[in-house]
């Protein structure tokens, strides 16, 4: 049953019609628990709230299903506006983005040109941009673009997913770039040809890549709500004398709030991924797919 629901949410998240409908009706069905709002102002207010108890943030202007050059340029403009709003408000946050929202599927050049404009603006504000990793079909091209950008920018990082077979090799290859990486388990539906189908194998690979990137001496964001992974990381850094400045924990807005605060109290850097925008549906569906138990929460909200 859980697998059926997982597949259903993953498919719905990819449906253009469902996304369009959701956009029309505004943040509904409890999505506000996971999405900070539809406007920049709402998202800045959410980040300010997190900053008050010591959590920092990464803001993401949600944008999926970008099919025209105009939509891609609009999305890049929103990233730049977000960086400006962070600087003007003084909140502690960097930026995360998806390269498909910048038109990666339309033209590589369009995407790279926008990436450079965004990174220039981030540099001006002394800020940092994280490239989210999308599905496997975009993995190689995302890493290629990241390599290209790293030649001119040191304020850019990328995400690596533990569920892919190729990941350990990618960690090795990226070491020479001194890459700042966010390590995650992986959120997309992938074929068993390219990804571990078994959760315990993903968890084992996740621990290995965390250890490897930390041991290589590079900045590591451990983005997980899994208490076993967090415990393992704490133990590993303590046994290997790795400073708290070389890593941070990251979690998603609205998930495991108490654990987030607890880690701050223990003296760790904790960054919360704060998504906002009218294009919230695909993101919301991926969160439900991760934890179909959340569906009860959705049902309750439908009848409120
Ligand atoms: P796991 O799924 O094993 O969950 C552990 C526990 O966390 C659960 O038992 C539950 O208590 C809690 N939990 C997890 N998900 C929940 C949810 N949706 N609702 C309620 N509770 C939940 N993926 C990707 O492919 N590309 C990317 O760029 C990113 N970026 C990213 C940034 C940040 C900051 C985070 C935290 C995660 C991502 N991800 C991602 C998503 C990631 O790949 C993964 O799908 C989720 O983090 C869930 O995996 P966990 O490591 O939390 O463990």
Ligand 1 near 152 CB (within 6 A) = no
Query: Containing H/E element for 102?
Result: none
Ligand 1 near 187 CB (within 6 A) = yes
Its pTM surpasses 0.90: yes
As given in the structure block, the two tokens for residue 303 are 């009848």
What's residue 267's pLDDT? 98
- Atom of ligand 1 at shortest range from CA of 252: 36
CATH tag for 56-276 (out of 3.20.20.220, 3.40.50.300, 3.40.50.1980, 2.40.420.20): 3.20.20.220
Ligand 1 near 224 CB (within 6 A) = yes
Q: Which of 172, 174, 169, 198 is nearest to 185 (CA)?
A: 198
Whole-angstrom Cα distance, residue 148 to residue 111?
12
Q: Which of 188, 178, 210, 147 is nearest to 286 (CA)?
A: 188
Q: Looking at residue 194, what DSSP letter applies?
A: T
- Atom of ligand 1 at shortest range from CA of 185: 43
Using CA of residue 158, residue 160, residue 161, residue 166, what is the dihedral sign?
A: positive
Q: Which of 192, 149, 199 is nearest to 174 (CA)?
A: 149
CA 226 / ligand 1 centre spacing (Å)? 8
Ligand 1 near 185 CB (within 6 A) = yes
pLDDT in tens, 55-67: 999 999 998 778 8
Whole-angstrom Cα distance, residue 6 to residue 44?
31
Using CA of residue 117, residue 121, residue 123, residue 129, what is the dihedral sign?
A: negative
As given in the structure block, the two tokens for residue 236 are 């590993």
Per-residue pLDDT tens listing for the chain (304 residues): 677 777 777 777 777 776 676 676 666 667 888 999 999 999 999 999 999 999 999 999 998 778 899 999 999 999 999 999 999 999 999 999 999 999 999 999 999 999 999 999 999 999 999 999 999 999 999 999 999 999 999 999 999 999 999 999 999 999 999 999 999 999 988 999 999 999 999 999 999 999 999 999 999 999 999 999 999 999 999 999 999 999 999 999 999 999 999 999 999 999 999 999 988 888 888 888 877 677 766 655 555 4
As given in the structure block, the two tokens for residue 101 are 């929202």
What's residue 15's pLDDT? 74
Is the Cβ–Cβ distance between 78 and 259 less than 8 Å? no
Alpha helices by DSSP H, listed for the chain, are: 2-14, 16-25, 40-52, 69-89, 108-124, 139-150, 167-175, 199-215, 227-239, 257-265, 281-290, 294-302
CA 18 / ligand 1 centre spacing (Å)? 23
pLDDT in tens, 210-260: 999 999 999 999 999 999 999 999 999 999 999 999 999 999 999 999 999
CB count, 10 Å around CB of 150? 17
Q: Enumerate the domain spans of the chain.
A: 1-35+280-304, 56-276
CA 218 / ligand 1 centre spacing (Å)? 22
What's residue 32's pLDDT? 83
Ligand 1 near 272 CB (within 6 A) = no
* ipTM of the complex as predicted: 0.97
As given in the structure block, the two tokens for residue 220 are 């590591």
Q: Which of 216, 220, 290 is nearest to 252 (CA)?
A: 290
Q: Which of 255, 290, 286, 284 is nearest to 272 (CA)?
A: 255
Mutation test residue for ligand 1: of 181, 198, 290, the one with most atoms within 8 Å of CB: 290
What's residue 27's pLDDT? 60
What's residue 227's pLDDT? 97
Please give the positions annotated as active site: 132, 182
Ligand 1 near 133 CB (within 6 A) = yes
């Amino acid at each position: 049953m859980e697998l059926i629901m997982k597949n259903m949410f993953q498919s719905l998240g990819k449906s253009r019609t469902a996304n369009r409908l959701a956009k029309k009706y505004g943040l509904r069905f409890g999505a506000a628990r996971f999405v900070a709002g539809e406007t920049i102002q709402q998202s800045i207010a959410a980040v300010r709230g997190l900053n008050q108890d010591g959590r920092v943030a990464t803001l993401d202007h949600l944008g999926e299903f970008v099919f025209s050059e105009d939509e891609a340029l609009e999305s890049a403009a929103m990233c730049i506006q977000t960086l400006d709003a962070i600087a003007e408000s003084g909140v502690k946050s960097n930026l995360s983005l998806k390269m498909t929202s910048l038109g990666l599927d339309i033209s590589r050049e369009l995407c790279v040109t926008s990436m450079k404009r965004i990174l220039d603006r981030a540099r001006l504000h002394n800020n940092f941009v994280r490239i989210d990793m999308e599905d496997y079909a975009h993995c190689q091209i995302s890493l290629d673009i990241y390599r290209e950008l790293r030649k001119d920018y040191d304020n850019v990082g990328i995400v690596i997913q533990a569920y892919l077979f190729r990941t350990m090799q990618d960690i090795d290859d990226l070491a020479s770039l001194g890459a700042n990486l966010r390590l995650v388990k992986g959120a997309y539906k992938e074929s068993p040809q390219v990804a571990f189908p078994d959760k315990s194998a993903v968890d084992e690979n996740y621990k290995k890549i965390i250890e490897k990137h930390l041991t290589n001496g590079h900045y590591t964001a451990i983005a997980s709500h899994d208490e076993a992974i967090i415990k393992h990381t704490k133990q590993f850094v303590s046994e290997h004398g790795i400073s708290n400045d070389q890593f941070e924990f990251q979690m998603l807005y609205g998930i495991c709030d108490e654990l987030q605060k607890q880690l701050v109290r223990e003296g760790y850097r904790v960054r919360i991924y704060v998504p906002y925008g009218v294009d919230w549906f695909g993101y919301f569906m991926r969160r439900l797919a991760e934890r179909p138990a959340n569906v009860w929460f959705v049902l309750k909200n439908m009848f409120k």
